[in-house]
Chain A
Amino acid sequence: MRKTTLLKTLTASMSAAALLIGAVNAQAATKVGFVYVGPVGDHGWSYQHDQGRLELVKEMGSDVETTFVESVPEGADAERVIRKLAGSGHDVIFTTSFGYMNPTLKVAKQFPNVKFEHATGYKRADNISTFSGRFYEGRAVIGTIAGHMSKTGVAGYIASFPIPEVIRGINAFTLAMRKVNPEAQVKVVWVNSWFDPGKEGDATKALIDQGADIITQHTDSPAPLQVAEARGVHAFGQATDMSAFAPNAHLTAIVNNWGPYYIKQTKAAIDGSWKSTDSWVGLKGGMVKMAPYGSAVSADAKTAADAVVAGIIDGSLHPFQGPINNQKGEQVTKQGETVAIGELLGMNWYVEGVQGELPK
């Protein structure tokens, strides 16, 4: 009995102190923290997450108070930053890079009342949800456009690192492109960086010089689009609408649209309905969006692309629908089947039509 009263006084005085400290801020605001792997000024992955954060602020106004920490390295520092956010009264914490998976897990154990949201990973706990976009759906859309728009039948793909996410994108793009043009080939150049405008541009030039007349990328900067614009070929934006950088070359972009998810999860945390889930959301849920078509996109391509978007949304079309052949021409997925989800998650082989061999 005495214990409870003591506890009560203690909590009361502590919350009074908290009130004093937070007097300037709105008292009831829910604190939401974000951890970014790059600078918000990268105009790519982290920039887009920050756009999501701003959307959250716009939607919820003074009900939320957001904090972000940028350029947090995926090594020993991540755990400290996440813990710092959890320890300073943040109720929901979004950790927005794969490399934060184990640090998030460690911190979540120590802060059972804080809700953690980890992007692109696969480990969950009672207070950790995972989320990611089905970006490969967007790749299927741009692959379809590429099949229609490419005259040489050769597409150039600027890739960052050989992780499943990137390989899945290459395959989805290639499958869609070859559905339109069965002879199409996709050339891949790895720049071994998420972000190096100069090198991304150079890779684009190399691909164009070798016959590619349509360019797509899985790196962050708009440099490939600028090169495409200068060389008079077509290209697709990555993560964000990049048409400002290439008004003629830009056909469309796969936009990472995190805002709605951030709003939904924050609201769930506030009203108590938050549960640990795995959300892999695509075009249907709006986490992946297509930017408006550029003026160069032909009527055929538009119709076909719209049909792919509609098919994916109503479930009648899956980007990894059989028959699918691997590079050796062996059928790996039969007619009428789709690639299993576990296989998609850890994809490390190329489909037929991709040139070059995947480093093992």
Chain B
Amino acid sequence: MTLDFIVLALLTIITAATPLVFAAMGELITEKSGVLNLGVEGMMLTGAVTGFASVFFFESAIVACIAAMLAGTLTALLFAFLVLTLQASQVATGLALTIFGVGLSALLGQNMVGIAYEGLPTLSIPYLTELPIVGKLLFGQDFLVYLSLALPFLVAWFLYRTRAGLILRAVGDSHDAAHAIGYPVIRIRYCATLFGGAMAGLAGAYLSLVYSPMWVENMTAGRGWIALALVVFATWRPWRLFLGAYLFGGITILQLHAQAVGINIASQFMSMLPYIITIVVLVLISRDRNKIKLNAPACIGKPFHPAA
């Protein structure tokens, strides 16, 4: 019973954490290149509505996910053009992108309210999926969950084991030096920002196709902001980010369980827990000043213009 219960709770936590992993991992790459995009919420919503519309239009979940990523990429392109080509303020443009995305998604989704979708198919391997305890947990998820599990490996490998990752980090840490060596700083930042947009779009698609398969306005309900906070929480490390998403998702779910058991604490205080614990854990891991400095991209948020 207890073991079953833990498995069930874990299944819920996976669903809660997966969109955060996508959106935050994309933002991590963006920020590693030295660009701060606060418009994650807007990009996620655009992805969510596009994914939901596409699944009916193309009748394919994979195509719908790709469409959502494209939509996220397009919104990120708009952002990138403004902040990278036209040197607009990154913080303000990101926030404006959120306002824009909320409006745009609501406009696009006007005729999709009240339509139901049965959700992405989950993996079903004969015997394996029916295994007790681990069966559903390991072999019964949808393909996006597996992708999100692979993501920290891929991102960590890319950042720390490939030349491209090294260049990306160099651009984020010192754009002047990177430029002097001859790297195309702006082009690299474009790529990183567009990747962030694609991942935010995918996170949105996860919400509208899996988490709660439907379209309603503002359905992200602030998850884009949590993703942004998680990147800081993780001190720009992929694995810490992954753990952070599961920590945040986990506490959110556990406080719901605690309420269902009938715990005698005002529900508002229970709902505060994920935020407070995230702060406490951040304080614990960031006390060591030197460790953080090694990871935070030094040029984050700063505009770059190659000196002529």
Contact = CB atoms under 8 A, between A and B. Distances in A.
A132 B115 CA distance: 28
Given A195-B221, A226-B212, A190 B259 contact: yes
A202 B256 contact: yes
Contacts of A203: 256, 260
Interface in B252-268: 252-253, 256-257, 259-268
Interface stretch (A38-46, A56-64, A111-119, A144-152): A38-46
Contacts of A212: 260
Contact of B257 (A192, A209, A221): A209
Interface in A230-272: 230, 244-245
Contact of A197 (B12, B214, B259, B263): B214
Interface residues of B, number: 43
Given A41-B106, A198-B211, A209-B5, A356 B259 contact: yes
A198 B217 contact: no
A210 interface: yes
Contacts of B270: 190
B174 interface: no
A188 interface: yes
B252 to A, nearest CB: 7
Contacts of B214: 43, 197, 221-223, 226, 245
A304 B173 CA distance: 70
Contact of A202 (B113, B213, B252): B252
A244 B216 CA distance: 15
Contacts of B221: 193, 195-199
Contacts of A357: 262, 264
Contact of A244 (B9, B116, B268, B271): B116
A336 interface: no
Given A41-B106, A190-B267, A156 B212 contact: no
Q: Is the interface of B mostly helix, strand, loop or mixed?
A: helix
B64 interface: no
B9 A209 contact: yes
B257 A198 contact: no
B212 A201 contact: yes
Contact of A209 (B8, B113, B116, B264): B8
Contacts, number: 125
B296 interface: no
Contacts of A156: 260
A357 B263 CA distance: 7
A221 B212 contact: yes
A188 B212 CA distance: 21
A42 B112 CA distance: 11
B266 A210 contact: no
Interface in A176-230: 187-193, 195-203, 205-207, 209-210, 212, 221-223, 226, 230
Nearest to B16: A202
Contacts of A162: 267
A47 interface: yes
A67 interface: no
A94 to B, nearest CB: 21
Contacts of A223: 212, 214
A189 B255 CA distance: 9
A192 B268 contact: yes
B257 A210 contact: yes
Nearest to B111: A41
Contact of B110 (A41, A43, A205): A41
Interface string B195-214: 00000000000010001111
B32 interface: no
B119 interface: yes
A39 B217 contact: yes
A197 B116 contact: no
B219 interface: yes
A47 B263 CA distance: 34
Contacts of B256: 189, 191, 199, 202-203, 206
A73 B262 CA distance: 32
A206 B257 CA distance: 5
Nearest to B253: A202
B301 interface: no
B165 interface: no
Given A195-B221, A197-B211, A221-B219, 13 more contacts: A39-B218, A41-B113, A43-B216, A188-B259, A190-B259, A191-B271, A192-B267, A198-B19, A198-B207, A206-B257, A209-B5, A226-B213, A245-B214
Interface of B: 5, 8-9, 11-12, 15-16, 19, 106, 109-110, 113-116, 119, 207, 211-214, 216-219, 221, 223, 252-253, 256-257, 259-268, 270-271
23 contacts: A39-B218, A162-B267, A189-B267, A196-B221, A197-B207, A199-B256, A202-B12, A202-B16, A202-B256, A205-B253, A206-B12, A206-B256, A206-B257, A206-B259, A207-B260, A209-B9, A210-B261, A212-B260, A221-B212, A223-B214, A226-B119, A244-B114, A357-B262
